Amino acid sequence: MKITGVRLGKISVPLRVPFKTALRSVNSVEDVIVEISTDTGEKGYGEAPPTGVITGDTTGAILGALRDHIIPTLMGRDVDDLENLMIDLNRCVVKNSSAKAAADMALWDLYGKLYRIPVYKMLGGSRKKLVTDITISVNPPEVMAEDARNAVGRGYDTLKMKVGIDPALDVTRLTAVREAVGPDVKIRIDANQAWNARQAVRILDQMQNKGLDIELCEQPVPAHDLDGLRYVTERSIVPVLADESVFSPEDALTILQTHAADLINIKLMKCGGIYNALKIAAAAELYGAECMIGCMLEAKVSVNAAVHLGCAKGVITRVDLDGPVLCTEDPVQGGAVFREKDITVSDDPGLGIRGVDGVMWLDN
């Protein structure tokens, strides 16, 4: 199975409601789609969101990396030579993790189709279902409480909330949500690097002393401040999840060796795809740490790839893959089925994707 062509396109999928954090409000998912064609007629699909504030990857940067570096590296190559394809994909351009991830998942899709096996089984997995949390958008406390009640009414038992800009208001919002959903629903928070280490310990202690029962705190301090991250991990009773501090397997190894966090958040868009994500999962397993599988604000092509990884690796014990359920429509033919919190992986070959509707294809 040889690669004969690559098409690039853009897709826009409206959200059910605006996705609001303390820093931005988004009304739709705007992603790059990759379609790799082969001489057998099979096609592989990938996706990359332009999340510049986290990965540094804009739409233009993603398209440029694919056109100028990644596509020339892949053209004419045999899909069966997957290991060398992955090595060359990671070497052909530095950074650009989202563009690499889109190509990576399209190659895995084709490799599974070549051998007529779903990717999660190819990776040794047997579980077919995952349960995701859902993010509650930043709004006035009473609105967030109502949104949380509605989410629990739809079956969600784990909620994720963004915090960090105004600690006092964060506590008010969290208190409103906790009172609305009761003690049995898990609440995890994401500070997105907002605090310094001492602030983080103080704020997390305040939250727990108020009975908010926070399951975990994601990236409380700046990504580069590994000493600060370790300071929080050592002193807070709230488990700490490293997110922006972990882009690569090497980053994960540093976190694990220094005990700078309790858990690792694996996102394909940070690490460059399934190939590198497997290395992060293996490192975490060696050090006895658990992982979350997460996503940016993405449509189903790329989140579907994360589902296969989540179903394959037992070290992944927490799931934050709510992107597709936030969208008004599913443009993907095939792939995983998302029914609110319940995700069922596809048993079709590869990543199970037959096509993507509504793509505006571009001239390469």
Domains, the chain, in order of start with CATH, read 3-116 (3.30.390.10), 121-355 (3.20.20.120)
| Secondary structure (3-state) at 104 | helix
The string of pLDDT tens digits covering residues 193-217 is 999 999 999 999 999 999 999 999 9
Lowest mean pLDDT among 5-14, 19-28, 114-123, 288-297: 19-28
Annotated binding-site residue? 217: no
Copy the structure tokens of residue 259.
């005990």
**Predicted pLDDT of residue 22:** 65
Q: In what order do the strands lie in the sheet with 214-218?
A: 134-136, 158-162, 186-190, 214-218, 240-242, 263-267, 290-294, 316-320
Annotated binding-site residue? 142: no
The mean pLDDT of 247-252, rounded to a whole number, is 99
Q: Which of 43, 100, 113, 162 is catalytic?
A: 162
Residue 364 has pLDDT above 90, yes or no: no
Annotated binding-site residue? 157: no
Annotated binding-site residue? 297: yes
What CA–CA distance (Å, rounded) separates 223 from 150? 33
pTM for the predicted model, two decimal places: 0.98
Based on the residue annotation, tell me whether 267 is a catalytic residue of this protein: yes
**Predicted pLDDT of residue 215:** 99
Lowest mean pLDDT among 15-29, 80-94, 137-151, 267-281: 15-29
Annotated binding-site residue? 109: no
Q: Which of 100, 267, 300, 341 is catalytic?
A: 267
The string of pLDDT tens digits covering residues 2-48 is 999 999 999 999 999 998 876 678 999 999 999 999 999 999 999 99
- Tell me the one-letter amino acid at 270: K
Based on the residue annotation, tell me whether 341 is a catalytic residue of this protein: no
Annotated binding-site residue? 320: yes
The string of pLDDT tens digits covering residues 330-355 is 999 999 999 999 999 999 999 999 99
**Predicted pLDDT of residue 47:** 99
Per-residue CA distances from 145 to 142, 162, 181, 226, 292 (Å)? 5, 14, 8, 34, 25
Copy the structure tokens of residue 339.
């029914």
Per-residue CA distances from 23 to 89, 179, 204 (Å)? 33, 26, 21
The mean pLDDT of 267-288, rounded to a whole number, is 99
Annotated binding-site residue? 348: no
Annotated binding-site residue? 227: no
